[in-house]
Structure 1
Amino acid sequence: MKKRTVAIAALMSAFMAGSAKAQSSVTLFGVTDAALTHASGSLSNTTGLTGGGNADNRIGFKGTEDLGGGLKAGFWLESGFNIANGTGIATNTNNQNSGISSGGGLTFNRRSTVSIGGDWGEVRLGRDYTPQYWNIGMYDPFYQVGVGASQILMSYLPALQGGGSGPAVWASNSVSYIYNMPFNGLTYGGGGFYGQAMYYRGNNPSNLPNSSDGNGYGIRVGFIGANLTVAIAHGQTSYETGNTQQDNIGASYNFGIIKLTSMFEHDRFSSITANGFLVGATAPAGQGIARIAYSRYQYDISHDPSASKLAVGYVYPLSKRTQLYGTYAHVWNTGGNAASIPGSTTGPNEPSNGFQLGMTHSF
C-alpha cells in the first residue's frame, strides 16, 4: 500500500510538472443577456422577451498551450444562442446565401479557430470576425447589439439589393494574420500599432460559373494611444451577381469625463453604393455609464432613401459580472425608405421606435 501511494504521488508530481512546463489552459466563458423589448412601427408592433440587448448571448471554450521558444498554440470555440427560447443562432458555411443555416442547435457560429503565434503575431484558421467589421462594432457605443445598434449594418446595402449579407461580420473558411490586436486570442495588444489581414474562400468547385462566390479578403490597421484610437479597414468579396466592398474608418478619444466615438462607412454592391456614419459618446453617470449614438445610412439610388437612428441608454453595474440596462431608439426614414427596429414593420417614410429593459450576466 505504501509503495502504491508513493507511485501515485510520483505520477501526479510528474503530471503536474509536465503541465506546468507546457502551461496549458482551457477556459469556459459566456454571456447571458435578456430584456423586455418593445418595438413599434406604423404597420406592426411587438412586445416580448428578447436577448442580446446589451451584449450578444454566447458560450465558448478557449485555450492556449505554451510550445516553448516564444510560440503558443490556441483554440477558440464560441457559440451564439437565443436566450428566450434556447435555440442556436444561424451560421454560414461558405460566405454565400446557399450556406446560410437556420440555426437551432449548438453551432460555433461566432468563432471557431485554431491558431499559432508569438511576439511576431498570430496565424489563425477557421471562422472568425472579418477585419472590415471591427470598426462598425467597436466604435458603436452600443457595440452593434440591441435596439440601439447603429443603422449601418441594419441597412447594409448588399442585403437590401438581394446580394446577401456576405461576410459583413464573420467569414468562414478563413486564414488570418493578426499583429498586436486588442482582443487577440493569444497575446493581448499593449498599445501602439496593430493590424489584421484575412483571406477567405467560398469553397466552390472550379468548374462552376459561381466558382469564385464567397471568396474575399479584408485588412485593417489601427493605432491605440493613451486616449486616442483610430483604425481603417477595407474588405471585398466576389459574387457572380456582383462584388461587395466595404471601406470604413473609426476613431475615439477619451477626455476622461466623456469618450467620443465616430466612424464612417462606404459600401458597394456591383455598381450601387451607400454611405453611413455614426457619432456617439459614453460617459460615467452616477455608478453607471450613459451612452448615446446617432447613425445614418443612405443608398445612392433613386430618391436617395436613407434611415437615421438616435439611441440613448444607461448601464448600471450590480457587480463586475452583472449589469442592468435600459435603451431607447428612434428611427427616421426618408426617400421612400422603410427601415424599422427589429420586431416591427413600418411604412415608407414612417418612423419606428424601440425600448429595452434588461440584465446581462457574464461568466
Structure 2
Amino acid sequence: MKKQWMLAIAASTCCVPYAMAQSSVTLYGSLGNSIAYVSNQHGGKTVFMGGGTTPEWIGFTGAEDLGGGLKAIFKLENGINTANGAGLIAGDMFSRQAWVGLQSTAYGKLTLGRQFDVTNEMIMPLTNGYQTSIYQLYHPANLDSFGSTFYNNAVKYTSPLWYGLTVEGMYGFDDTTTQPGRYAGGGVSYSNGPLRAAVVYSSQHDRTLALGTQLGFTEFAGRPVPPSGAIVARSVQILAGNVLYDLNNAWQVRGGYSQVWVEAQNGVTEKMRTGEAGASLRTSPANLISTGAYYSTFASAHYVTAGLSDVYSLSKRTSVFASVVYQHASGSVAAMALLAPSSTTSQLAAYMGLQLFF
C-alpha cells in the first residue's frame, strides 16, 4: 500500500509542469476569389479568376506559456490559389511563413525561419494596396517589397511596444540552393491613437528581378534582358516611409514614398522612385469605399496608376467587393503588379468577388 502511494505521488509530481503550462494551436486562413477583366495582357484582353481582397492562405500558429512572461511560438502558413487549388509556390509546403521563436513581454520577440521581410511587415499595412484591397496599387514588379515578400534562413527581432514605438530588424543568410545573397533590414514603426507611421531600410545581394516578364523591359542598365525575362541584380537597396491617419470614424488618409537602388552586375545603378496617396470613407458600418494613386519612375519608364474599390461586409468574416484600377505609362509599356505587361502604354483591370476569413 505504501509503495502504491509513493508511485501515485511521483506520477502526480511529474505531471505538474505539463499541467501548469498553457499551450494553444490555432488553424486560420483566408479564402477568396473574383471574376477579373484586364484590358490588355501581351496584346489581348483577358477574363479569369482573379483572387480575393487579400492573398489566399491557410496556416497554423501556436504558443506555449513557459512562465515568467515568456512563450515559445511558431507559425506555418501556405499560400494557395483558390481558382485551381494549387500551392502558391510549387514544391513548397509552407510558402509564406515557417518559423519558430520565443516571445517575452519584457524583451520582445525573436523568430527564426522563412519570414516576411521588414519592409513588407511594417510598411504594407499603411499602403494603398493593402487599404484598398487592390493588388495593382502595389508598385511595379514589387521592387520596393511593399507586397508580400518572404526570405529564407532569416533571424528577426521585434522589440516590445514602447510609447507607441516598435523597432524591428532581420537578417537572412545566403544559401546557394534557396536564397543566393544575404538580406538585411531594419525599421521603426509608430502607432498612437489615429496615427500610424513607419520608416524602413533594407538591402539584399543577388536578388532576381523579373524585369522582362513583369515590366516588359527588353533592356536594363545598358544590357539586354535575357530571354528568361529575369536579371540577377548585384544589390537592391530600399528606403521607404508611409503614414496613415484616421481623421474620424468615417475618413482615413494615407501617403508614402519609397526609393529603390538596383545595381546591375555591370555596376550600373538605376533608381525607382514612387510616391503614393489615398483615402478611405466608411459610408456605413458595413461599407468601405477606398481610393488611391501612385506615380513611379524607374530607369526611363514612368507610371501613373489609380484605383477605386468598394468592400461590403456581410459579416465580420465575409465580404463582397468590386474594384477597378488603371495605369498609364510612358517610356515603357503599362505593367501593373501581378499582371502580365500590356502591349501598349495603358492597362485597365476590374474585379468583383467574395472574401472569407476563418
Using a 3 Å threshold, how does the CA distance of structure 1 residues 266 and 30 change in structure 2: closer, same or farther?
A: same
Q: CA deviation at 1:136?
A: 4.5
Q: Which residue of 1 aligns with 2:246?
A: 254
Q: Which residue of 1 aligns with 2:194?
A: 227
Q: Percent of pairs identical after alignment?
A: 24
Is 1:243 aligned to 2:235, yes or no?
yes
What residue identity is the alignment partner of 1:334? S
Is 1:177 aligned to 2:177, yes or no?
no
What residue identity is the alignment partner of 2:46? T
What residue identity is the alignment partner of 1:86? G
Q: CA deviation at 1:72?
A: 0.6
Using a 3 Å threshold, how does the CA distance of structure 1 residues 146 and 288 change in structure 2: closer, same or farther?
A: closer
What residue identity is the alignment partner of 1:127? R
Using a 3 Å threshold, how does the CA distance of structure 1 residues 20 and 331 change in structure 2: closer, same or farther?
A: farther
Task: Say which SS state the counterpart of residue 327 (structure 1) adopts.
Answer: strand
Task: Say which SS state the counterpart of residue 149 (structure 1) adopts.
Answer: helix
Q: CA deviation at 1:45?
A: 1.4
CA-to-partner distance for each residue in 1:240-288, whole Å, 9 max, x for gaps? 8521101100101110121111111100111111101211112201331
Task: Say which SS state the counterpart of residue 46 (structure 2) adopts.
Answer: strand
Q: Which residue of 2 aligns with 1:121?
A: 108
Aligned length: 314
Using a 3 Å threshold, how does the CA distance of structure 1 residues 225 and 144 change in structure 2: closer, same or farther?
A: closer
Q: Which residue of 1 aligns with 2:74?
A: 75
Is 1:108 aligned to 2:94, yes or no?
yes
Aligned residues: CA RMSD: 2.9
Partners of 2:136 and 2:337 within 8 A in 1:
no
Question: Which of residues 311, 314, 317 in structure 2 aligns to 1:315?
Answer: 311
Using a 3 Å threshold, how does the CA distance of structure 1 residues 176 and 345 change in structure 2: closer, same or farther?
A: closer
Counterparts of 2:45 and 2:336 in 1: how far apart (Å)?
10
Is 1:332 aligned to 2:332, yes or no?
no
Structure 2 residues not aligned, in runs of 5+: 1-10, 207-231, 264-268
CA-to-partner distance for each residue in 1:290-328, whole Å, 9 max, x for gaps? 1111012211x3xx3111211100111111110111110
Q: CA deviation at 1:203?
A: 2.1
Counterparts of 1:343 and 1:265 in 2: how far apart (Å)?
21
Q: CA deviation at 1:168?
A: 7.6
Q: Which residue of 1 aligns with 2:213?
A: none
Using a 3 Å threshold, how does the CA distance of structure 1 residues 29 and 157 change in structure 2: closer, same or farther?
A: closer
Question: Structure 2 matches for 1:12-91, cutoff 5 A?
Answer: 21-41=20-40, 43-51=43-51, 53-90=52-89
Q: So what's the TM-score if we normalise by structure 1?
A: 0.79
Using a 3 Å threshold, how does the CA distance of structure 1 residues 151 and 117 change in structure 2: closer, same or farther?
A: closer
Task: Say which SS state the counterpart of residue 119 (structure 2) adopts.
Answer: helix
Task: Say which SS state the counterpart of residue 71 (structure 2) adopts.
Answer: strand
Counterparts of 1:215 and 1:354 in 2: how far apart (Å)?
36
Q: So what's the TM-score if we normalise by structure 2?
A: 0.80
Partners of 1:54 and 1:142 within 8 A in 2:
no
Partners of 1:328 and 1:355 within 8 A in 2:
yes
Q: Which residue of 2 aligns with 1:296?
A: 295
Counterparts of 2:22 and 2:247 in 1: how far apart (Å)?
39
Question: Which of residues 321, 346, 351 in structure 2 aligns to 1:351?
Answer: 346
Using a 3 Å threshold, how does the CA distance of structure 1 residues 168 and 61 change in structure 2: closer, same or farther?
A: closer
Q: Which residue of 2 aligns with 1:134?
A: 121
What residue identity is the alignment partner of 1:178? T
Structure 1 residues not aligned, in runs of 5+: 1-10, 91-102, 159-164, 181-188, 206-211
Task: Say which SS state the counterpart of residue 347 (structure 1) adopts.
Answer: coil
Q: CA deviation at 1:197?
A: 0.3
Partners of 1:204 and 1:213 within 8 A in 2:
yes
Is 1:218 aligned to 2:218, yes or no?
no
What residue identity is the alignment partner of 2:101? S
Counterparts of 2:282 and 2:233 in 1: how far apart (Å)?
47
Counterparts of 1:136 and 1:155 in 2: how far apart (Å)?
17
What residue identity is the alignment partner of 1:255? L
Partners of 1:293 and 1:311 within 8 A in 2:
yes
Q: Which residue of 1 aligns with 2:169?
A: 197
Using a 3 Å threshold, how does the CA distance of structure 1 residues 245 and 110 change in structure 2: closer, same or farther?
A: same
Moved more, 328-337 or 138-147: 138-147
What residue identity is the alignment partner of 1:266? Q
Counterparts of 2:46 and 2:340 in 1: how far apart (Å)?
6
CA-to-partner distance for each residue in 1:129-162, whole Å, 9 max, x for gaps? 111223542122431896543242x33459xxxx
Greater strand proportion: 2
Q: Which residue of 1 aligns with 2:257?
A: 264
Counterparts of 1:313 and 1:124 in 2: how far apart (Å)?
35
Counterparts of 1:204 and 1:294 in 2: how far apart (Å)?
38
Using a 3 Å threshold, how does the CA distance of structure 1 residues 242 and 74 change in structure 2: closer, same or farther?
A: same
